[in-house]
Amino acid sequence: MILALAGGVGGAKLADGLARSLDPRELVIAVNTGDDFEHLGLRVSPDLDTVMYTLAGIANPVTGWGQAGESWAFMEALERLGGPGWFRLGDRDLATHVERTQRLGRGESLSQVTRGLCERLGVRQALVPMSDDPVPTRVRTEAGWLDFQHYFVREQCRPALGAIEYQGAESARPSAELRAALDSLELEGVVICPSNPYLSVAPILALPGVSHALQACRTVVAVSPIVGGEAIKGPAAKIMRELGAEPTALGIARYYARLVDILVIDRADAALVPEIEALGLRAVACDTIMRDAEGRARLARECISLVRGTRS
Amino acid sequence: MILALAGGVGGAKLADGLARSLDPRELVIAVNTGDDFEHLGLRVSPDLDTVMYTLAGIANPVTGWGQAGESWAFMEALERLGGPGWFRLGDRDLATHVERTQRLGRGESLSQVTRGLCERLGVRQALVPMSDDPVPTRVRTEAGWLDFQHYFVREQCRPALGAIEYQGAESARPSAELRAALDSLELEGVVICPSNPYLSVAPILALPGVSHALQACRTVVAVSPIVGGEAIKGPAAKIMRELGAEPTALGIARYYARLVDILVIDRADAALVPEIEALGLRAVACDTIMRDAEGRARLARECISLVRGTRS
């Protein structure tokens, strides 16, 4: 069994590739919930939804969030009534948040809710939140501390970032399914998807026991979200610069050096292999840009081979 | 100034006629909130919304509830996720309930919320809830006590009705604007719209002081919702039969006899005038079926004339 750690878009794509390449019982996908928040009285879990919609085949391929073929009648009507328009909730997407909020209100855990929604959408893989406890990410910017979605969506990541906090992470418990996967004798290895290291992966790693479990794990493979000095999508490179890290695959290698055995980088960055390997981890260069379903599956197979030691 | 008491469809139509015939400052419309309920964590006020949408010119003319040109992507997605489908919330309509719930949650009263929504939708008339306190209507049926919307929408009014309760009415306060209208020296008279007497008008009349104020009022005109022994829309005739009342304009006259000075009935029921007037109230027969905007305005002008005593 392989455990994937994922955030939003990049994580969802590789998770989808893994899902296409493994039996559902061979895969557990643990997803960041640090960007979860309450909006319009609804509990929104952006990364969980992006991965869930992607695996269900209903994700919007253009935006990287929300559903394909989405309509916006609700948002238009809400703005006409003076409601907030900065966080876009499509008509179909809204149903996910309403149903999630209702189920949480009836006492289900986020893990149970996610399982229920996945069943309904025909997602057969174990898609699990990193934790059932709230671990809201907050960022310190020039404008002071901001809740994550205020920074990420409302402010479009414009304010320079000085620090990140995973609030409550030290006392939150990893979800039962994440713990079970980390403790399982069946665990062959962990794949850290090409999600934002600071905003998507770090919240998972900040949970008690997760980093230790990774250090003890046979093989941990990470895929660099930075290619040629830029992020495929999102603010990863900008944030690395602001936090004083080098926004390259080498910077990613330094960030993950103590946790990861193998870093998968893009062919475009192959020249960085010696420097990365000087940090004490193995670097493998291949095509990491997932342009289509086959691209996702190819990168997934690469990661699976590396975990299983079947690639020379 | 004229005060109209209204429920849903029939009330909304006559309220619209009154709004077309009076200066906005000359009209206060107090609306039943006995059918308000919480659904999907949202506060839904069906009658207020029907009147508000009608005055805003965005009501669905076919269903009698919701908005014209509505879309249903949310409901479809919600049902796919296993959510309840019995109460239909259109994508645009949903924004009203989300915004109302948000504003109530911030401490606004239902009156304030309604004023805010009306401003946004360009409704210039004073549209006010009968009360800011909850007064949920419950009905006793063969199947036991049911919440109103469970009876009205989920069960489609099928179970025979044995009793109706306006829960909390005795301790609820009429809204400040309804009280002000009833106490106003400017009040020329009250128009009870052709809404369901038991389900839409009675909850308003059950509030402390309202019936007394109507008895003290110069002129109270009611329009019969029953024409030719049937309701124009809705279960009024069925309910009257079940509660042992005669489902005719005469039955309506008996129901309102102690409160109303003039009952407006349809021409089709003109033969009932002597029997109605034998009860001690005046009966006026005219065309009460509001097929279009002109029909609404014509009936409204009739009611205004009767209130003002300018009709012989």
In whole angstroms, how far apart are CA A284 and each of A17, A232, A290, A296, B66?
18, 18, 16, 17, 58
Please judge whether A117 and B81 are an interchain contact, meaning their C-beta atoms are less than 8 angstroms apart.
Answer: yes
Please judge whether A116 and B82 are an interchain contact, meaning their C-beta atoms are less than 8 angstroms apart.
Answer: yes
- Is A38 an 8 Å CB contact of chain B? no
Q: Is the residue at A113 inside a domain?
A: yes
Of B70, B96, B105, the CB nearest to A81: B96
Of B40, B77, B95, the CB nearest to A77: B95
pLDDT (0 to 100) of residue B311:
60
**Structural domains in chain B (count):** 1
A249-275 per-position pLDDT tens digit: 999 999 999 999 999 999 999 999 999
Closest Cα partner for B13 from B67, B60, B48, B51? B51
pLDDT (0 to 100) of residue B8:
86
CA distance B26 to B186: 9
Largest CA distance in chain A: 61
Q: What is the mean pLDDT of residues A211-236?
A: 93
Has residue A312 got a pLDDT over 60?
A: no
Q: Is the residue at A40 inside a domain?
A: yes
Nearest residue on chain A to B80, alpha-carbon basis: A120
* This prediction's pTM: 0.94
CA distance A265 to A256: 13
Of B73, B90, B102, the CB nearest to A83: B102
Which residue has tokens 């008509």?
A: A91
The token duo for A275 is: 């420097």
Q: Is the residue at A147 inside a domain?
A: no
Q: Is the residue at B153 inside a domain?
A: no
Task: Encode chain A in three state secondary structure.
Answer: CEEEEECCHHHHHHHHHHHHHCCHHHEEEEECCCCCEEECCEEECHHHHHHHHHHHCCECCCCCCCECCCCCHHHHHHHHCCCCCCCCCCHHHHHHHHHHHHHHHCCCCHHHHHHHHHHHHCCCCEEEECECCCCCEEEEECCEEEEHHHHHHHCCCCCCEEEEEECCHHHCCECHHHHHHHHCCCCCEEEECCCCHHHHHHHHHCCCCHHHHHHHCCCEEEECCEECCEECCCCHHHHHHHCCCCCCHHHHHHHHCCCCCEEEEEHHHHHHHHHHHCCCCEEEEECCCCCCHHHHHHHHHHHHHHHHCCCC
Beta-strand relationship, B226-227 and A2-6: unpaired
Domain that holds residue A80: 2-141+166-308
Has residue A302 got a pLDDT over 60?
A: yes
Q: Is the residue at A157 inside a domain?
A: no
Please judge whether B99 and A117 are an interchain contact, meaning their C-beta atoms are less than 8 angstroms apart.
Answer: no
Cα-Cα end-to-end distance for chain A: 21
Q: Which residues pair with A268 in a beta bridge?
A: none
How many angstroms separate the CA of residue B115 from the nearest CA in chain A?
Answer: 11
Q: Is the residue at B39 inside a domain?
A: yes
Q: What is the mean pLDDT of residues A221-248?
A: 93
User: Which of A74, A87, A93 is the best substitution to test chain B (most B C-beta atoms within 10 A)?
Assistant: A74
Q: Is the residue at A132 inside a domain?
A: yes
B91-134 per-position pLDDT tens digit: 999 999 999 999 999 999 999 999 999 999 999 999 999 999 99
Q: For residue B36, give the amino acid letter.
A: D
Please judge whether A120 and B94 are an interchain contact, meaning their C-beta atoms are less than 8 angstroms apart.
Answer: no
- Is B104 an 8 Å CB contact of chain A? no
Please judge whether A73 and B91 are an interchain contact, meaning their C-beta atoms are less than 8 angstroms apart.
Answer: yes
Q: How confident is the model at residue A143 (pLDDT cuts 50, 70, 90)?
A: confident
Q: What is the mean pLDDT of residues A143-155?
A: 92
How many angstroms separate the CA of residue B130 from the nearest CA in chain A?
Answer: 22
Please judge whether A105 and B41 are an interchain contact, meaning their C-beta atoms are less than 8 angstroms apart.
Answer: yes
Compute how many other C-beta atoms are within 10 angstroms of the C-beta atom of residue A26.
16
Q: What is the mean pLDDT of residues A182-201?
A: 96
* CATH at residue A197: 3.40.50.10680
Q: Is the residue at A227 inside a domain?
A: yes
Share of chain A above pLDDT 90, in %: 94
pLDDT (0 to 100) of residue A311:
60
* pLDDT tens, per residue, chain B with 312 residues: 999 999 988 999 999 999 999 999 999 999 999 999 999 999 999 999 999 999 999 999 888 899 999 999 999 999 999 999 999 999 999 999 999 999 999 999 999 999 999 999 999 999 999 999 999 999 999 889 999 999 999 999 999 999 999 999 999 999 999 999 999 999 999 999 999 999 999 999 999 999 999 999 999 999 999 999 988 888 999 999 999 999 999 999 999 999 999 999 999 999 999 999 999 999 999 999 999 999 999 999 999 999 999 765
